[in-house]
Amino acid sequence: MAEVLVITPVKNSIETTLDTARAISNSDVEVHHIIFNDFSTEETKVELEKKKAEIGYELIHLEEITDHPSPNYKLVLQTSQKKALELGLPLLVVESDVVVKADTISKL
């Protein structure tokens, strides 16, 4: 079972997002990772979809739940807080340009 819910908001920074997602998936603790795609281009959306099973993250396209233009930080935080409470997990936000080491999350 996951020990922490990690969220990553993203808009059109696919390479750094995938690097971040890979680093999170290699964490020394069990992580439930959700990437919130905040109205990225179709190319970014396709790449995120393509890599989610390989890397191991849940993907939420905000365009499917709101028509409010980016940025949608408040919606991301509200949705994440609700999910963390449902799962009984602490919530950690890791931005899409942050690469963590295997022990970063456990040290927090």
Please report whether residue 28 resides in a domain: yes
Please report whether residue 41 resides in a domain: yes
Q: What is the pLDDT of residue 7?
A: 98
Contact 5, 87 (CB under 8 A): yes
pTM (two decimals): 0.95
Length of the chain in terms of residues written: 108
pLDDT per residue as tens digits for the range 13-58: 999 999 999 999 999 999 999 999 999 999 999 999 999 999 999 9
Please report whether residue 30 resides in a domain: yes
The CATH number linked to 24 is 3.90.550.10
Q: What is the pLDDT of residue 99?
A: 80
Contact 26, 56 (CB under 8 A): no
**Residue 13 domain boundaries:** 4-97
Tell me which DSSP letter residue 13 carries: -
Residue 67: φ, ψ to 5°: -110, 5
Please report whether residue 104 resides in a domain: no
Q: What is the pLDDT of residue 67?
A: 95
The confidence band for 101, taking pLDDT boundaries of 50, 70 and 90, is very high
| Number of domains present in the structure of the chain | 1
